[in-house]
Amino acid sequence: MPIRFREDYPEVMAFLGFEVRKMLFSRKSPFQKIDVLETDTFGRVLLIDNLVMFTEKDEFVYHEMIAHVPLFVHPDPQNILIIGGGDGGTIRECLKHPEVQKIDLVEIDQLVTQACLKYTPYLSEKILNERVNCYFEDAVEFVKKSNYRYQIIIIDSTDPINVGEGLFTVEFYQNCNKLLTPDGILVAQSESPIWFPKLIKGIAKKLNSVFPKVHFYQANIPTYPSGFWSFAFASKKYHPVTDFRKKRYRELNLKLKYYNDRLHSATFNLPTFFDELINNA
Amino acid sequence: MPIRFREDYPEVMAFLGFEVRKMLFSRKSPFQKIDVLETDTFGRVLLIDNLVMFTEKDEFVYHEMIAHVPLFVHPDPQNILIIGGGDGGTIRECLKHPEVQKIDLVEIDQLVTQACLKYTPYLSEKILNERVNCYFEDAVEFVKKSNYRYQIIIIDSTDPINVGEGLFTVEFYQNCNKLLTPDGILVAQSESPIWFPKLIKGIAKKLNSVFPKVHFYQANIPTYPSGFWSFAFASKKYHPVTDFRKKRYRELNLKLKYYNDRLHSATFNLPTFFDELINNA
């Protein structure tokens, strides 16, 4: 009898699961429950409160798409703030850009980072890079008090429940806006448009009240609910498609598995129901 | 204790499932087992041999994308052959084009059509339209013997196991090619690039051996394995993007939920790993 992990999606009364070879790590931090599973077909899997945060098999989709889209729009992304993202995957992708001089990571739960450094170093080891500063504290307070300025802010958060809840408010977006340079860009993971339409409508409405330019883009992440995932791109100046830096993309010549220049522009062309969701927000 | 349906994905040792309110229909035909389930969140669901064929919640993605992409490329799609597709969803979408004069449906299993006409008429009732002829027979034999000519052939098949197997061979594609007009287009559902890469590589290789132009496109179908689904577009003459008939799209002004003109072109821009899969086929 195999061991099975099952993630429930109560909003749609559905579930996704897979067979587990063994449990590598399981602990409760002051904030949440953290597990690392070993599987034969998805590699190692990080769970927070029984929700899949990443699997080795498809994490490249999420991390490439949350990082390279804004970093290939901004002409000179020197300073980056990552909210959440304690697994280090987004850091790994950002550091592929030589323009990046400093990354501040604000992760509430140090145990996430410790577990990932131990069990998924291929994903996480760039956390130790000299260009990275880790702040293990509440991002809601960090953005309220900080006086730093960033070209890019990436909200690489969990779902808007428990510790993630404060990262989906107008006040939080306003404080992020304050930390952006006048040509800054904010990108946030924004959940599934097909299974969580109300969530994405709320995110669109709040971002539109703070930023002059808000666009959504999509990616296929099989181990997230519905597999149909979205990201919000909010900017004070740049358009995600017309300001795409094709020359820098070509010169940098990264070896990536999902993101590419044609996809960069294509991914902002949304299915009609998704367009209608955000346009009526 | 709720009743749960679970579809297993043995290739990746994973599964997807949902809660079922009741079983509406369950019978074995000479070819396969057919079930119709009632659910609270996905509406009615058709299963064949315990695999999800469609759910009311997301069938629009599959049916709009398999039909409108080729029908908005061909300048005058008068005669259409649909292989499989006994649920009628692809017929429903094709008949939205006034150019269509005749649709031949070749479905091996009449019980599929009977069950759908009874339990999901919103999807299936266009099967009874006067422009549609149903042939309840083996499509492998049909395409071998037929002398008809079609502008469009749509392979709306199950997976390449059991009755679906013969619909994924070079010989089958050659016989389809023979039935196409010199400017004809063939579109086929081509499985998940991320969970079934070998399958899609095989489809690409076989189609490339028969057709001068082969392109793949993608769609997000949450209740299919991985949610990341693909379609093959094979043509003797037309390019799916440069030959897109934007004027006809605008004039027809269809009210669709997924497909639109911007998405038509965008959907052919694939993630890098998918491009590499089919380019090395």
Averaged pLDDT for residues A241-254: 98
* Residue B239 pLDDT level (bands cut at 50, 70, 90): very high
Q: Answer with the residue of higher pLDDT: A101 or A236.
A: A101
- A150-156 and A79-84 strand pairing: parallel
Q: Where in chain B is the domain with CATH 3.40.50.150?
A: 59-279
Residue B33's DSSP bridge partners are B28
Q: Which CATH topology does A59-279 take? A: Rossmann fold (3.40.50)
Measure CB to CB from residue B269 to each of A16, A256, A262 and give the nearest one.
A262
Closest CA to B226 of A58, A279, A125, A195: A58
CB contact under 8 A, B260 and A266: no
Summarised one tens digit per residue, pLDDT across range B260-275 is 999 999 999 999 999 9
* Residue A62 pLDDT level (bands cut at 50, 70, 90): very high
Q: Which of B195, B220, B229 to mutate to test the interface with A (most CBs of A within 10 A)?
A: B220
Say if residue A103's pLDDT is above 70: yes
d(CA B46, CA B62): 14
- pLDDT at position A163 is 72
d(CA B82, CA B112): 15
Summarised one tens digit per residue, pLDDT across range B69-95 is 999 999 999 999 999 999 999 999 999
Of chain A residues 24-83, which have a CB less than 8 A from chain B? Answer: 39-42, 57-58, 61
- pLDDT at position A166 is 86
- pLDDT at position B208 is 96
Q: Which residues on B lie below 8 Å from A269 (Cβ)?
A: 260, 262-263, 265-267
Q: Which residues on B lie below 8 Å from A226 (Cβ)?
A: 220, 222, 227
Residue A139's alpha-carbon distances to A83, A109, A165, B86, B122, in angstroms, are: 6, 11, 11, 53, 49
Q: Which residues on A lie below 8 Å from B93 (Cβ)?
A: none
- pLDDT at position B163 is 72
For residue B259, the chain A residue with the least C-alpha distance is A271
Q: Which CATH superfamily is domain B3-55 in?
A: Spermidine synthase, tetramerisation domain (2.30.140.10)
DSSP strands (E only) in B198-237:
213-220, 228-235
- pLDDT at position A259 is 98
Q: Answer with the residue of higher pLDDT: B162 or B29.
A: B29
Summarised one tens digit per residue, pLDDT across range A40-56 is 999 999 999 999 999 99
Q: Does A266 touch chain B (CB under 8 A)?
A: yes
Q: Minimal Cα–Cα distance from A94 to chain B, Å?
A: 18
Q: Does B233 touch chain A (CB under 8 A)?
A: no
* Residue A1 pLDDT level (bands cut at 50, 70, 90): low
* Residue A230 pLDDT level (bands cut at 50, 70, 90): very high
CB contact under 8 A, A272 and B256: yes
* Residue A199 pLDDT level (bands cut at 50, 70, 90): very high
Q: For chain B, what is the mean pLDDT? A: 96
Closest CA to B47 of B5, B90, B109, B107: B5
- pLDDT at position A82 is 98
pLDDT above 70 covers a percentage of chain B that reads 100
Closest CA to A191 of A173, A167, A170, A212: A167
pLDDT above 90 covers a percentage of chain B that reads 94
Say if residue B161's pLDDT is above 90: no
Say if residue B1's pLDDT is above 80: no
Catalytic residues of B: 156
| Sequence-distant (≥ 6) Cβ neighbours of residue B251 within 8 angstroms | none
Neighbours of A25 (CB within 10 A): 18
CA-based angle A94:A99:A100, to the nearest 5?
A: 45
Q: For chain A, what is the mean pLDDT? A: 96
Averaged pLDDT for residues A212-233: 97
Of chain B residues 92-151, which have a CB less than 8 A from chain A? Answer: none
Averaged pLDDT for residues B19-38: 97
Closest CA to B267 of B213, B231, B222: B231
d(CA A197, CA A179): 29
Q: Which residues on A lie below 8 Å from B14 (Cβ)?
A: 16-19, 41-42
- pLDDT at position B164 is 78
